Each structure stands twice: as structure tokens, then as C-alpha cells.
Chain A
Amino acid sequence: MKADIRVALVGNPNTGKSTLFNALTGLNQKIGNFPGVTVDKKIGYTQLPDGRGAEIIDLPGTYSLYPKSKDESIVFSVLAEKGGELKPDLVVVILDATNLKRNLLLYTQVADLKIPVVVALNMIDLSKKAGIKIDINLLAEKLGVPIVPIAARKLQGIAELKTAISYANKFALQQESIDVRAIAPEMVDAISKENNIDVPYLALQLAHQHETLKFLTPAESDRIEDLEQQFSFHSQKAQGAETIARYNYINDLLYDTVKTPQTAYDESHSNKIDKILTHRVFGFIIFMGILLFMFQSIFAWSAYPMSLIEDLFVWAEGGLRHILPAGPLADLLIDGVVAGLSGVMVFIPQIAILFAFISILEDTGYMSRVTFMMDKIMRKVGLNGKSVVPLIGGFACAVPSIMSTRTIENWKDRMITIMVTPLVTCSARLPVYTLLIALVVPNKNVWFIFNLQGLALTGMYVLSLVSAVLVAYVMKFVLKARERGYFIMELPVYRMPRWNNVLFSMYDRAKTFVLEAGKVIIAVSVILWVLSSYGPGNRFQKIDQKYSQPQYAQSMKPDSLKRVISSEKLENSYAGVLGHVIEPVIKPIGFDWKIGIALITSFAAREVFVGTMATIYSVEGDADKIDSVQDKMRHAKNPDTGQPVFTLAVAFSLMMFYAFAMQCASTVAVVYRETKDWRWPAAQFAYMTVLAYGASFLVYHLLK
């Protein structure tokens, strides 16, 4: 859609900005990144009543133009950049009618930037219910801007807002709120003159933020710094003076326009809920209950759609196999690309469900209570109250959990959470654990009720949480904080979740995951396919020749012959050769070259281990009898010693390796996407591999 006018949405967090954005643009939106930074950029299109098209940019929620997080720093740079590619023609400032005083601070700052403003006065229904009387006409007259009362959740006032947007350029600019120049007159004048700026507030903001603004050249930034020195400008003191002046203006403004009853209805209502939900005993019990429910649902509800997706891919692979002429191209397409795709798609249900829960918890206002309750405990190990949710989500899958760390504003807390989340036992480790435990741990009860195998599995889960906490604790000292840690957070009033928003969030996250992580996953799958389908020199030809001799065709059934050929080919493939190459490295932790192949092939996803084992060990034992993987592994003997390969020591060493090693292409991809820096996934891969090797070594030598 062509845009004739660009509109930016600006507002405090929890004011319904996203709801308004969705109401204005519907499905006509896309998500990208702001140029040069990882922060989500939401852009949508809408048709105005006069027939023009408007592009709507949803800027991150912020309490002021002075940024506290990387997300928030976007707001000022988009609004201020002269001729910037996203510079809006009009700003819609969304204000929460139930909390006008604090909301108006941001309005006055935006208004002073002299970009035309329209005010969307949201939650007008709630403020009426709470008995707040707002004289909208008088307020609009005093501010000098059109004010449109809306109720975004109920889709009220949206058409009126569009009309106001379409009249944007036809009325006078808003009134000045405070005398900005008075804060630092000489410096503001000097900066204005040198940079050719006719808006005093813009000049003042440049003095505050020049160090982080990308659109200033280093020379311009240095010059502003010089001017600050010259006029001895103190950023924090000036900001304090400005804030006080703005609130004085706001108090004057509200004096005869807004009448608020002593206690707002919502606040007292919320207070009652909080008495239970943040209670020192019930609070934690309810939180545990919610997590348990979430955790169970992710497993339970995703099982059916996941198997449906798997079946769909099996069907598609079969169909393609039928249509395409047999050959390397078909194999690459089916075993590489389609198999890789199925590995991506199968996560969609878990991602969608996890994000549905997270957006419900956020929408209702409960998430900030979790942060409130858990902050002290999590802070001790270098995490944050908000780290709880990704860690628990990690039991299902690290991928959506890492995506959910966006809600953590503090850079250091977020990075630590991203770094430790993959340690939590995810569902992909389950098949590996169950296979190995069943192999070496006797299925018998101890102390009447505890099953040994069950205890071993529980142990692996507990180990994962303990290791995540320990690693976080270590990283607390390793990582240097970029900003001083503080915790000043609004506890919004409880509200019903916006179901539309929940659906949007599920759809958005799943789509982003498939598109972004998918590219990398397919690439890795294709590489792995090539490695395991081709061998150096003419080894494959020799195998084909060997098995085409008549004695094999006579003594073996076609099926088992095929299996023997494929496993011998795997041995001689590049992956097999790599297995031999890495054997000296993995010998000290008890693995032979065959396990080495499995380690390599299961790099993309841990559950591949089971399938690889099945192929490799089909060589041994009675070829006529199709054994289960478990039986094959049980009968596997070390050719040198004649002893079984999978002893207690080897099995537990392997489990340790799978517990700690990264071995998940999806996680690598998503960590890269979230940090936009290859060093993070690389560091994570390195530390986890070292941990895995160390733990395996220790366990192998203790149990040997």
C-alpha cells in the first residue's frame, strides 16, 4: 500500500498502544528491525477517510524521551532525525485517561519537538467508570491539539481518530509546554545555531543524548560535547529541572480540566487481587500452579498438532519421492531441505502455545507481579525476576523461551538469561535420556515407591536447573554491566487479556521463528545431509560393488541388505570419517567413533541421536531380525575387548554430554537473531561444550 503520510504511535507502556496499532492496521502490518538495532519495528498501513493511505509506526513504549533501555532510545532517534527514513509527519500520542498526570510528561516532551501531534485519549470507558471527569474540550484548547477519546479494546473512537489524522496538517501547532531555553539558554542557542536547529527542545535533547545518536557524525557529537563543557552543562541536573518544570505545567493544566475521585475504582479492585496474588504464601503457590499448568499444557496441547505436522511432512516426503525422479537432487530436496523444514515446523505448536501464555500473563498485568515477587531471589544469582518465565519455558524448548527474554529490559540480566536457558532440560533431550537410562539403569523400585529409572530421569532434570543457576551466578561476575542496575517498574492494574492480541502474538512469533531460524536450520540440515550422503574418494562405489556380488544377494534379504549397505556407507561418509577423526578427542570421555558420528549428526537437533544409533548398529547382530534400537545398542560389543560398548559409565557420560552441549541449531540461530552478534552464540557454544566435556569426563572416570 502506498503511504501519503507517516504517523508514529508514541506512549507509555501499558496504555494500549499495541491494541490501537492493531485496531488501526489489522492484518496489514509487518515486523522488521529498526535500522542498525535489534528492536522490533512494527509498521502497518491504514486507509484514511479522505482516501489517503497512512503508514503507522508503532514505537516502543516509554515513559519519557530520556531512554532507560535500548528499546526506548529508538523513540527519540526516530522522532529527531532530520530527514530520517522513518521520521513521521505526525505523532499520535496515546494517553491513558485513568493516569493522565504521568502520561502527560511524555506528551509535553514530544509536543516540544514541534512535530504535529494528535492525542488519542485511551481507556475513556474505564476512566468514566472510575468517576474521573475530564473536560476534553478545555484540555484540547489548552494544549492546542485535537484530542480524540477512544477505547481501543472496544474499538471505539477509531474512525474519529483516523479523521483527526487526516486533518493533521490543517491546524496550528500545539502550544509550548515549558520554556525549554531557560534550562540552559546559552548552550541551547549555541547548539541551535551550529546545527541549524530551530526547535530549542531538539537542541537540548541533542546535548543529553548526542553520544548514543547514530545520525550524528563523530565530529558533530564532539562539537556538542565541547559546547556542553563550555557552558558547564550537567545532564542529570538539567533533566531533573526539566522534569520538575514539566510536572508544574501538568499540575496547572490538570487543575481545572480533570477531577479525580479519591480512590479510583480500578486501583482498589486491583489491590484486592494483589493481596492474594502477591501474598507471601499463596502468591508463590499460585505462581507454581500457573507454571505447572503452563508447562503441562505446552506438552499436552502440542502433542496432537506436532504429530499432525510430522505426519504431513512424512506424507509430503513420500509424495515428493513418488513425483521426483530418483537421484541426488531428489535426495537433497527430501532428506536435506524437507527434513530440515520439518525439524523447524514441528516446533510451531510449542512456540505458539508458550507465547499465548506469555502474552496472556503480560496482558493481565500478572507478569509484573511475578517479577515483583521473584526479583530478590533471582537477583542473588545474577538474574532478574523476569528470567523465571524463560527458564521454566526451557523445559519445553529453549527457542521460544529465548525469544521471550525480550521482556527483560536490563541488558546484563537478559544476556545471562539467554546464555543459561539452553541448559534447562528441553523436550528434545527426553528421547536420548529415556533410551540410555533404559539401557543401563535397572527397572526396579527402591524404598517401595521410587523407580530407579524414574529417579535417574528426575536427577537429570534437577541437574539442569542447578547448572543453569550456577552458570548464571558465575556469569554475574564475568559480564560487565553496561548500565547501573535498578528496578523501577510500574505495576499496571489487572485487566482482561486481549484475545486478539494473544492471537497476533502467537502468529507473529511463529512466523518470525519459521522465517529467521528456519533459514539457518535448513542450511545446517543440507550440510549434514551432504556429509552423511557422500564419502571421500570412491569408497561408496566400492561398497556398492562389494554388495552387488551374488553371494550377498543370495544370503541376505533385500531389506537387511539395504540396511547393511546404508550403515556401511554412513561409516565411510564424510560424517563417518569425521567420527574417526574426532575419536581421539572423545575417547577420554568413553566414546568410540560410532558415537562420534551420532554426536556430529545430532548437532542440528539432539533427537537425531536415536535415529543415527539405529542406523549405525544395524550392522551388528542378526541381520534378519529387526531389533529395536535399544537391543542393538545392548548387543553392541567393543571389537578390541569384546565387552559391551554401552556400560553404565558410557551411558551416563553420554547423558552428561547431551545435558550440557549446545547441540541445537535452532537455539544457535535464535540466539544470533536475538543478540545480532555471532560472538554470543559462539561463546555459548564454547562454554557449553567445555562444560559437557568436563562433566562427561568426570562421570566416565568416576563410574568406570
Chain B
Amino acid sequence: MQTTLSQLEVGETGIVKEFSDLEMSVKLMEMGCLPGEQIKVSRIAPMGDPIAIHVSGYQLSLRKFEASTIILQ
């Protein structure tokens, strides 16, 4: 069973393994979400979507859908 970023709770961390969507992967990698990088979910928006993550030394927000394309180790 694969774990994706969208399944993590606030405060949990994971390491990026690969992506399930090519187009999204290009945009996410530019923003520092690279294979091997550690990601920590820092908060979830009040309505449950989007989420904010800590990656490469800064905070990035993305929608649950985009997070679901990031497969973790």
C-alpha cells in the first residue's frame, strides 16, 4: 500500500519517493519537493483543504489533490 502526502496528519513527516502525475511533479520539484526530501505537514486549512507543508526550509501550501500525487517512502 502506497502512502501519499495527502494521508499524513498535521505534524507527521515523510520522505518523497516518486510522483503519480508527471505535469504536477515538474511543478512540485521546482518548488523543492524532490525525491529524497523530507516533508512535514505543518497545518491544514480550516475547511480541510488545502494543506501547508514544511519542505526545503520553507512553507508551501498545496491542495489535497496535488498532495495525493506525491508518493512517500
Contacts and interface: CB of A to CB of B under 8 A. Distances in A.
Interface stretch (A210-218, A368-376, A524-532, A681-689): A368-376
Interface string B40-66: 001101111110101011111111001
Contacts of B50: 372, 375-376, 487
B30 to A, nearest CB: 5
A281 B45 CA distance: 11
A24 B61 CA distance: 32
Contacts of A491: 52, 58-61
Interface residues of B, number: 32
A278 B45 contact: yes
A545 to B, nearest CB: 72
Given A372-B52, A484-B23, A491-B52, A279 B57 contact: no
Interface in B6-44: 22-32, 34-35, 42-43
A249 to B, nearest CB: 12
Contacts of B46: 278-281, 283-284, 373
Interface string A82-119: 00000000000000001111100100000000000000
Given A244-B35, A373-B45, A376-B45, A64 B30 contact: yes
A29 B51 CA distance: 39
A624 B58 CA distance: 74
A583 interface: no
Given A278-B45, A280-B46, A376-B49, A490 B60 contact: yes
A68 B27 contact: yes
Contacts of A243: 26, 29-30, 34
Contacts of B32: 101-102, 105, 247
A638 interface: no
A66 B59 contact: no
Contact of B63 (A236, A283, A375, A492): A375
Interface stretch (A264-272, A389-397, A547-555, A601-609): A264-272
A376 B45 CA distance: 9
A563 to B, nearest CB: 59
Interface string A272-307: 001100111101100000000000000000000000
A488 B45 contact: no
Contacts of B47: 373, 376-377
Contact of A264 (B22, B49, B57): B57
Question: Which applies to chain B's interface (DSSP): helix, strand, loop or mixed?
Answer: mixed
Contacts of A244: 29, 34-35
Contacts of B27: 68, 486, 488
A264 B29 CA distance: 22
Interface in A224-283: 236-237, 239-240, 243-244, 247, 260, 264, 267, 270-271, 274-275, 278-281, 283
A15 B56 CA distance: 16
Contacts of B52: 274, 278, 372, 491
Contact of A372 (B35, B45, B48, B66): B45
Contacts of A375: 45, 49-50, 63
Contacts of B22: 236-237, 240
A489 B45 contact: no
A602 B39 CA distance: 57
Contacts of A372: 45, 50, 52, 61
Interface string A489-504: 1111100000000000
Most buried by A among B22, B34, B54, B57: B57
A680 interface: no
Given A64-B30, A373-B45, A375-B50, A486 B61 contact: no
A484 B27 CA distance: 12
Interface in A359-375: 368, 372-373, 375
Given A377-B47, A491-B52, A240 B60 contact: no
A534 interface: no
B46 to A, nearest CB: 4
Nearest to A375: B50
A489 B61 contact: yes
A436 B3 CA distance: 62
B43 to A, nearest CB: 6
Interface of B: 22-32, 34-35, 42-43, 45-50, 52, 54, 56-63, 66
